[in-house]
């Protein structure tokens, strides 16, 4: 890495526990059904997708 490239790399800032707590509270899901349905967590959305797909699979198979 050259000196010019090194100067372009941003400085690493100290961790701010207060800011981390605020961000965690801001992005946390609300408890209950409303929080579960309005989540932005990709893992929870994936689980909901799999449960829905399985439910439609069972519903489709039971119609025979």
pLDDT tens, position by position, 1-45: 566 666 666 666 677 888 888 888 888 888 888 888 888 889 999
Q: Which domain range does residue 43 map to?
A: 31-64
Residue 24 lies in a domain: no
- Cβ-contact 39, 28 below 8 angstroms: no
Residue 45 lies in a domain: yes
Residue 46 lies in a domain: yes
- Cβ-contact 36, 52 below 8 angstroms: no
Please state the pTM of the whole predicted model: 0.55
Residue 4, pLDDT score: 64
Residue 10, pLDDT score: 64
How far is C-alpha 33 from the geometric centre of its chain's CA atoms? 17
Which of 20, 45, 24 is closest to 35 using CA atoms?
45
Residue 8, pLDDT score: 67
How far apart CA 62 and CA 11 sit, in angstroms, is: 60
Residue 2 lies in a domain: no
The first and second tokens of residue 2, run together, are: 């050259």
């Amino acid at each position: 890495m050259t000196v010019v490239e090194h100067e372009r790399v941003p400085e690493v800032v100290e961790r701010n526990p207060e800011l981390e707590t605020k961000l965690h509270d801001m992005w946390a899901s609300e408890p209950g059904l409303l929080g579960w349905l309005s989540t932005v967590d990709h893992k929870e959305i994936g689980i909901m997708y799999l449960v829905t797909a399985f439910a439609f699979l069972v519903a489709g198979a039971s119609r025979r």
